[in-house]
Structure formats: C-alpha cells, structure tokens
Amino acid sequence: MPPSGGLRGLLYRISGGAINLGPSEQDRQAELLEKQIGRRLEGTWNTAFLSLKGGIGKTSTTVGVGLTLAELRPEPPCAIDANPDAGDLVERALGEGSYESERRRSITALLRDFESVQTRSELLRYLHQAGSLHLLAGEQDPELSDSLTAEDYRRVHALVARHFAVTLTDCGTGVSRPAMRGILEDADNIVVVAGYAVSGAKRARDTLRWLSAHGYDRLAQGAIVVVTDKDGVSARVDKAAIEATLSGMCRALVTVPHDRSMADGDLVALDQLRPATRQAYREIAAAIVSGYQR
C-alpha cells in the first residue's frame, strides 16, 4: 500500500509512485485502529458515558466518539441524551442554532408517543442527525427533565436498539439518579470521563469502586477511563500520579488533549479538531468496540 504522509508519502508523490517505501508504522497503527472500529458486530451494543462532575468534557467526548464511529463503521450509531439536567448532546453535535427550532423532538416526546412508534421511519421523526450520527435529544424543561425513570430509559433504549446496532448513552453526573439503574443494566461497557487532575482521577476511581460494590463489577473491570485536558493544564499536572491512581482499575486509559475548537458549548466537528484530539477519539472508539463481547 502507498504511504499516506510523511517523508515516505512525499517520495511517493514526487516520484509519481515509482518510489514506494510502503506505509509507515504510524500508517499501520492508524489502519489497525480503523479496522478495530469498523469490525463487524453481531447483535446490538450499548455504551454509557458517565462522570461524577459536570463541565469536564463528558458530552463533547460522547459526540466526538459518536461522530468517529459514524465515520468509520458501516452502520450508523445512535446517541441518547439521558442527562436529567437539560443535557446539550444535540447542541454540541449540531450547533445551538440548528437545534433551537427542533426542541420538540426529544426523549420525552418519544415516550409520550411510544405506543405509536414501531418502524425505523417512525422513530427517525424523533431523532436528529449530524452526518451519519443519529441523536435523541434530552428534555429541556426542568419540570420534566428529572422525571425519566429506569424503566422509561429501558423502554427507549430497547426501541432504539431495534434499529441501531450501536447506541451511546450520555448520562448525567453521578451514578444514583433515577434512570441510572436502567442505563447501567443495559450497558455493555462504560466510559468514565474525568478531569485532568489527580482529584479527577480519584473521582473516576471512586466511580469504579461504587460500580463494583453495587453489582456492576463487569462494567467496572471493562471500563474505559477518559482524562480530558479541557483547560490546558497538562503541563502543570503530575501525569504519573494520575496513571498510578487508576492503575489496574480499568481496561483502557485515554487522554483527550486540550483543544481550543471545543470551548464550552461549541459545536464538535471532526474536521475542526486537532489531529491529536481526533486520534484520542479513535482510540476511545476502538476500545469501546473491542469491548463488545458476550
């Protein structure tokens, strides 16, 4: 195969293909990641994204990974906003202006009309779409947003899973909200998002310990911990201490670097991200798919 970049790619291009040193190690690793992400799956699978603290990049991680899966998998995934605190999953994927006029299409509306929604085309009327990524918006009315029960979530997820092989669930903060039992029971694996600090790593560790102590040891052992450097603090943080805090407690640990294109509330678009950020989302996506095993 011809190399895609670097000195090898330059030689290949300027020689008109006469000099082909083959793909570099970086190219080979990228190809391996793409194959892991795009591998064929049997059945339906669900990943929950959760954290103990807000404002650390959980929703942007859900969107970035969802867009990555949509880009590299043969079938589109669907992301569900199960955040009871007026979650902004759809705004981060579409932009606030694009979503504002479509607020009526939400998880609450789907539950209200649940009995009349049977086919994929009927379900799509309640979903939003960013590229190939489908999204079910959360409720924005504060009087209704915290009313989602575990059984409500399980009904919604069962309906979505009939038409989408991979679903991602963007949870609220904490693990004791009303809907969390249904979310965790339906999850095949979890992504725990933490801030880039030792305290953030300890919160992630405490989340995993809570899961193990409450009957979700399977999820804790297979967890993917994502450490997000939202504010460019990595140069001032003891990375070794963060890794030591989480050592042996999760299946994979991925760092998402600081990226100015993803300021709070901004649209998450893959083509606007730094290469290192896109690489991190690919690593998370590959770890998610590799964890889909019965």
- Give residue 95's pLDDT: 82
Do 283 and 225 meet the contact criterion of CB atoms below 8 Å apart?
A: no
Give mean pLDDT, residues 246-254.
87
Q: Are 114 and 155 in contact (CB under 8 A)?
A: yes
pLDDT at 38: 95
Give the largest Cα separation in the chain, rounded.
Answer: 67
Predicted pLDDT of residue 261: 81
Domain map (residue ranges) of the chain: 1-14+22-37, 43-290
**How many CB atoms sit inside 10 A of residue 125's CB?**
11
Task: Give backbone dihedrals phi and psi of 96, rounded to 5 degrees, phi first.
Answer: -60, -40
Q: Enumerate residues 6+ apart whose C-beta is below 8 A from 272.
A: 261
Q: Which CATH class is domain 43-290?
A: alpha beta
The neighbouring-strand residues paired with 32 are none
- What are the pLDDT digits (tens) for 185-215? 999 999 999 988 888 888 899 999 999 999 9
pLDDT of 86 > 60? The answer is: yes
pLDDT digits (tens, 9 = 90+) for 103-153: 678 899 999 999 999 999 999 999 999 999 999 998 877 666 667 889 999
Please say whether the beta carbons of 187 and 48 come within 8 A. yes
| pTM for this model (two decimals) | 0.88
- How far is it, in rounded angstroms, from Cα 79 to Cα 118? 19
pLDDT value of residue 284:
98
pLDDT band at 99 (very low <50, low <70, confident <90, very high): low
- Find the helix or strand (DSSP H, E) in which 121 lies: helix 120-124
Strand order in the sheet with 252-256: 128-130, 133-136, 78-82, 166-173, 45-51, 189-195, 224-228, 252-256
Task: Kindly state the percentage of the chain with pLDDT values over 70.
Answer: 90
Report DSSP state, residue 138: P
